[in-house]
Amino acid sequence: MPANQHFPEILALADEPPMQAEVRIERGGPRLFVQGKETYPLLGWSWGLVQTASIFKQIGIHMLHPILGLNLGWKASGHFDWSVFDPLFAALLRENPQAFFLPRILFDAPAWWKQDYPEERVVCVLPFDPQNDRQYRDIIPSPEGGMQWGIHLDEPSMASDRWQREMEQAYRSFLQYIEASPLRSRILGYQIGSGIYGEWHYFMAEFVPDISKSMQQKLGFVPDLQQRANATLGLLRDPGRESEVISYYHKFHHDILAETILKFARITKEETASRIVCGTFYGYHLENVWIHEGGHLAPELVLNCEEIDFIASPYSYQTTNIPERQWWEHDVVDGAGNWLGRARGIAGDGGYRILLESLKRHGKLYLPELDAGTYLEPPPINLDGTGGTQVEREMTMIGGDGSTTLEGTLQILRRDLGQVFARGVGGWLFDFGPVLRTKKSWYAAEPIINCLRSLYELGEFRKTADISSCAEIAAVYDAKSFFATRHWQAEAPFPQGGYSMDYFSRWFMDSQARAMHRLGAPVDFLYRFDLRQQDRQKYKLLFAVNLFYLSDDDVLQLKGLLKDSGMTVVWFYAPALLSPERVDLRRMRDLIGFELNMETEPGSMLISTTVDAHSDSLPAEFGVDEQRAPRFTVGESDVEVLGRWSQGGGAAFALKQHEGWQSVYLGTAPAPAEILRYLARRAGCQLWSSEADLVMATRDAAIVVATSEGQRQVSFPSDFQDVDSKSVAQTFDLEGKFGEVRIFTRHSKRKTPNRQGK
């Protein structure tokens, strides 16, 4: 009989039927069903989950997200004691007898295993330097379940057959224990994790892994630091000269990282007879540090996996790149000083790091981690050593990027949970309060509880709503381009605000996303491989952000999609320049319709705007004030020149008609929101806000966040109802306050909840 027989709270579940949980595609997107009933997928986690469970219960949240490290119950080779987790489940059930659980399972090897098998460890190209790294400090353990803040330096290689084999044995044993326990009636599923913080960032990624014997045996060729860091074509790799390095990264991410995730997902379903859901952290295409080793660069494999029901990630962390600002501030500017947007805090976008439309098209429910601090946490401590202890200075990095006022806290919560509601996703509140200086939950105040309860109750509307995309604009990306772009180590140390980032992640992915969120209209984010013929009618404007490395079949597919579609496509930098065999400028010209010349001498990546935009107030200059190569100039016959390189004067931003669609070439990034809005208007897109506001929406719900003060007009495709005022209209004239969040639902005979989360 399981050891949990000693806990009456667990034994009381014995007569309950086994859990049945699944993700179904209904009314426009993936939804969570628990025991056959649709359930709003909002969960709660806290560093002191037992302490905070009663607060989540007051909010209405009964699904909890405990974090369990398998190292705690793996006592010796082949010997396991999973009753170590029973006290936690029993205590949570005491606090909330209605609780359900979606545990995060960490495939952490115990200390004795790592000591016994040192030959199975990750081996890095770079030596560990404790003076220059803030992650690898003393471990701060959670009192519950095994969550740790901090990372050991002796982790096993994911290429290790021994680690794979023995971790599988441990995980199967754990699942069998739960399946034989009354807890099987309350476990909704599992979120499987390994790597840094369980997020499948390869262990020791910032020290350039993995040249271990296991990895060399699995992949054969393993490049050294010089081969990784030195691209032969400036910002790009020449496939004709660097095919081995490109192939290594493909196999590293596909054959090692992604296949490991799939293996444990299949084990989850096998041991639970597919009664419950399985998910994972993955798909951080935006804001992924150390991306060549620590990234998630095999998304198609994971998205196509039937055993994975949901994908999770934290949302945006991008910190400011303005030198005089503090680390916890999140305003981002380009090289000409144009404000691109703000990632976190009041009027921040809280942008998702995954490509949400791709997840929906593959039937995966998305769960963002909502971890902004509240006013209950004292103001952040500077990292310059002027305040607090070393641990306090390090731990404050995970909090303090919310607001220090009640009003600001409520605005941010409305933004975060309003976005969950409007975009048809789920998520969990991630509460670090008990481990920081508050020593209590971030949510332990009546105004916060009331706000969260009201926002949770909005989820009832979801059960009748259409959560399909309503966007006319899409940003399109390709993960495999990172196999052929310059390594992040070549940029290290990166200037202010870009810790361990490569050039394209910093400017084309993350900073450009800040401006895309401020376009003032809904924008879909998806991988190139998820474009389909129906998108010819759906989208009026595509931003082709990093489609640099494409096969000939990829190019033919794009040409077929675009021909006579009437769409506008904005091509960033070097679309289709790189094939698996060569650098192919001719193919690039054939795809986008421009005559292009490649300049191999470094030049400034700033563009001077030449278009006479009148009332559009376009910036005079935008881009990156750095010398980079290659750059591309546009031949000026039969094109409309919109901008020129600030250094050299050649056309670098231009528009032309091509094969029944409108092609725009843009030689740099990031382009500010004003440029994007100008292009959207020219493409015939409806801008929902007259200002560069944050607009997130699906067919039946929307939120609008003001990013400036003053009057604005918000226009919807049909009649919508303001959840606060109950007024119904297609067009609203609003007096916006910076950071103010307005939540709307499409007007129909359905009743909208009365609680507003104010």
The pLDDT value given to residue 749: 60
Q: Exposed/middle/buried for 14, CB within 10 Å: 0-12, 13-18, 19+?
A: exposed
The pLDDT value given to residue 337: 97
Nearest to 176 by CA among 305, 34, 80: 80
3-state secondary structure of 246: helix
**Residue type, position 310, single letter:** F
Q: How far apart are alpha carbons 561 and 555 in whole angstroms?
A: 10
The pLDDT value given to residue 403: 85
Q: Tell me which of 396 and 61 has the higher pLDDT.
A: 61
Query: Is the pLDDT assigned to residue 266 strictly greater than 50?
Result: yes
At 38-64, the pLDDT tens digits run 999 999 999 999 999 999 999 999 999
How many helices and strands (H and E) does the chain possess? 21, 35
Helices (H), 146-258: 161-179, 213-219, 225-229, 239-251
b (16+ CB within 10 A) / e for 129-154: eeeeeebbeeeeebebbbbbbebeee
Tell me the percentage of the chain whose pLDDT exceeds 70: 91
pTM: 0.95
Mean pLDDT of 264-292: 97
Query: Is the pLDDT assigned to residue 394 strictly greater than 50?
Result: no
The pLDDT value given to residue 736: 87
3-state secondary structure of 379: coil
Q: Left, alpha or beta for 162 (phi > 0: left; psi -120 to 50: alpha)? A: alpha
Query: Is the pLDDT assigned to residue 545 strictly greater than 50?
Result: yes
Q: Exposed/middle/buried for 490, CB within 10 Å: 0-12, 13-18, 19+?
A: middle
pLDDT category of residue 757 using cuts at 50, 70 and 90: very low
Count CB-CB contacts under 10 A for residue 9: 18
**Angle at CA 253, nearest 5°, toward 248 and 256?**
95
Tell me the percentage of the chain whose pLDDT exceeds 90: 84
Mean pLDDT of 179-205: 96
Query: Is the pLDDT assigned to residue 437 strictly greater than 80?
Result: no
The DSSP result for 78-96, as a single string, is TEE-GGGGHHHHHHHHHH-
The pLDDT value given to residue 758: 41
- Local structure of residue 273 (DSSP, 8 states): T
From 72-81, 204-213, 377-386, 699-708, the region with the lowest mean pLDDT = 377-386
Count CB-CB contacts under 10 A for residue 96: 17
Query: Is the pLDDT assigned to residue 313 strictly greater than 70?
Result: yes
Q: How far apart are alpha carbons 61 and 454 in whole angstroms?
A: 12
Spatial CB neighbours of 746, under 8 Å, sequence gap ≥ 6: 465, 699, 700, 701, 716, 718, 719, 720, 721
Please give the structure tokens belonging to residue 159.
Answer: 């290429």
Please give the distance of CA 364 from its chain centroid, rounded to a whole number. Answer: 14
3-state secondary structure of 716: strand
| Mean confidence (pLDDT) of the chain | 92
From 59-63, 75-79, 751-755, the region with the lowest mean pLDDT = 751-755
- In the block, tokens 């199975």 appear at 120
Please give the structure tokens belonging to residue 173.
Answer: 């044993």
Q: Tell me which of 403 and 136 has the higher pLDDT.
A: 403
Query: Is the pLDDT assigned to residue 6 strictly greater than 90?
Result: no
